[in-house]
């Protein structure tokens, strides 16, 4: 009887131990599975972060930037030297815009086509030697139709000759940071040594957009007419089809030669954000447009542009009776933005202002600089200018201000 009781007790202990062991094993196995799932999820996250962005396959070179910061979002062989074809005309339009701004040319001024300008090959508006056309119409023909003959008319009007104008183009390219570019002509017709890069074309496009946005009023036009009311009325159709079919695309310039392949420097503006994309050496214009839009759509959906300063924001108001007016605003000369991925936090912003008060009254164009630091790094250094036209005050102006201070101010 005693043995039976001991046997039953032993059996119960064994059962209890078996149940505990089984339950413990199940919990351990579940924990292992849970850990494996977490590890798999973490692995996926790492892999996603390390996936290399591939927005362009067909083009030989490409780049995607934000123009106010010049930050590069995507690039492919962006410093490879290639013929830019008619994208050359971006620089031509920059110099035209500067000539208009500096009163060297007026939009209603008529220019005359030389025999040399009329002899250009490729895309033209078929100017006759001696034919007169307004600056505005000639500019339209370049911005919309990519006219080679019109480009030479401007080169001769601004530079005296195409050779001298090309020197101006090369000087300007180096000045704005397009250091791998060498121009040999003003329109991009094939010529040995006439080269640029996707990065340089983006820099030129950004300069045009930032400093001469009025040119976009022409590059965004899809179709127009020249020589209205004349037998040789000419239909202009934009070589950049994206300006018609894609909301927000308003420029800038296409290009094609046998040597260059299909090229495009394009810009889009939506939701107060602007981006520039460049491809060079595409095999087909439809593929080129598709790859440009892949880049632009990626930028729009992935990035935000946070404004720190807007052009002409007042940095300081200064008062000095030696000048007229005695109160004037010192303003920032261009926009300052930060490019950041959507969903990320804005980091610390600091500024360092340096105003040279002795320059006021002598150089209204620049009276100092402001350095903007983002997350401890220098983001941009921008010129400060006087908003008003400041001149030295006359003796009577100074006397009036002094008396006003003494007798009229309580």
C-alpha span between 154 and 161 (Å, rounded): 9
Q: What is the DSSP string of 204-258?
A: HHHHHHHH-GGGHHHHT--EEEESTTSTT-EEEE-S-THHHHSTTEEEEEEEEET
C-alpha span between 251 and 164 (Å, rounded): 27
Q: Which residues contact 396 (CB under 8 A, 6 or more apart)?
A: none
394 is catalytic: no
283 is catalytic: no
146 is catalytic: yes
Which of 146, 150, 151, 196 is catalytic? The answer is 146
Which of 60, 76, 86, 220 is catalytic? The answer is 86
Q: Measure Cα distances from 123 to 149, 164, 189, 255 in Å.
A: 8, 23, 10, 11
Other CB atoms within 10 Å distance of the CB of residue 117: 25
In three-state secondary structure terms, 23 is: helix
Query: Which residue matches tokens 């007229």?
Result: 324
Which of 76, 89, 172, 380 is catalytic? The answer is 89
The two tokens of residue 48 are 């996603």
Query: Which residue matches tokens 């959507």?
Result: 342
Q: Measure Cα distances from 344 to 68, 306, 337 in Å.
A: 20, 12, 15
Catalytic positions, written as ranges:
86, 89, 146
């Amino acid at each position: 009887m005693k043995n039976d009781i001991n046997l039953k007790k032993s059996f119960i202990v064994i059962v209890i131990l078996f149940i505990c062991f089984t339950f413990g094993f199940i919990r351990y196995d579940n924990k292992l599975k849970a850990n494996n799932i977490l590890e798999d999820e973490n692995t996926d996250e790492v892999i996603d972060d390390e996936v290399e962005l591939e927005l362009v396959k067909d083009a030989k070179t490409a780049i995607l930037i934000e123009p106010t910061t010049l930050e590069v979002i995507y690039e492919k062989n962006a410093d490879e030297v290639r013929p830019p074809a008619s994208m050359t005309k971006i620089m031509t339009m920059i110099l035209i815009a500067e000539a208009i701004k500096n009163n060297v040319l007026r939009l209603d001024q008529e220019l005359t086509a030389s025999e040399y300008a009329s002899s250009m090959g490729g895309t033209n508006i078929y100017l006759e030697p001696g034919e007169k056309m307004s600056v505005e119409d000639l500019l339209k023909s370049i911005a919309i139709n990519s006219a080679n003959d019109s480009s030479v008319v401007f080169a001769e009007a601004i530079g005296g000759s195409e050779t001298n104008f090309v020197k101006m183009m090369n000087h300007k390219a180096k000045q704005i940071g397009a250091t791998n570019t060498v121009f040999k002509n003003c329109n991009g017709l094939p010529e040995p040594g006439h080269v640029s890069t996707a990065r340089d074309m983006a820099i030129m496009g950004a300069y045009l957009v930032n400093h001469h946005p009025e040119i976009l009023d022409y590059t965004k036009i899809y179709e127009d007419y020249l020589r209205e009311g004349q037998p040789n009325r000419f239909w202009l159709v934009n070589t950049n089809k994206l300006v018609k079919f894609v909301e927000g695309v308003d420029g800038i310039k296409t290009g094609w030669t046998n040597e260059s392949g299909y090229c495009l420097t394009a810009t889009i503006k939506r939701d107060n954000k602007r981006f520039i994309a460049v491809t060079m050496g595409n095999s087909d214009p439809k593929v080129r447009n598709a790859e440009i839009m892949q880049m632009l759509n990626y930028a729009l959906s992935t990035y935000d542009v946070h404004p720190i300063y807007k052009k002409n924001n007042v940095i300081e108001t200064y008062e000095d009776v030696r000048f007229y007016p005695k109160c004037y605003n010192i303003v920032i000369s261009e926009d300052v933005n930060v490019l950041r991925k959507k969903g990320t936090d804005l980091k610390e912003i600091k500024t360092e202002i340096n105003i040279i008060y002795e320059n006021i009254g002598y150089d209204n164009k620049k009276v100092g600089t402001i350095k903007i630091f983002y997350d401890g790094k220098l983001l941009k250094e921008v010129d400060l200018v006087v908003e008003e036209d400041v001149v030295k005050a006359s003796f009577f102006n100074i006397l009036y201000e002094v008396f006003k201070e003494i007798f009229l101010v309580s």
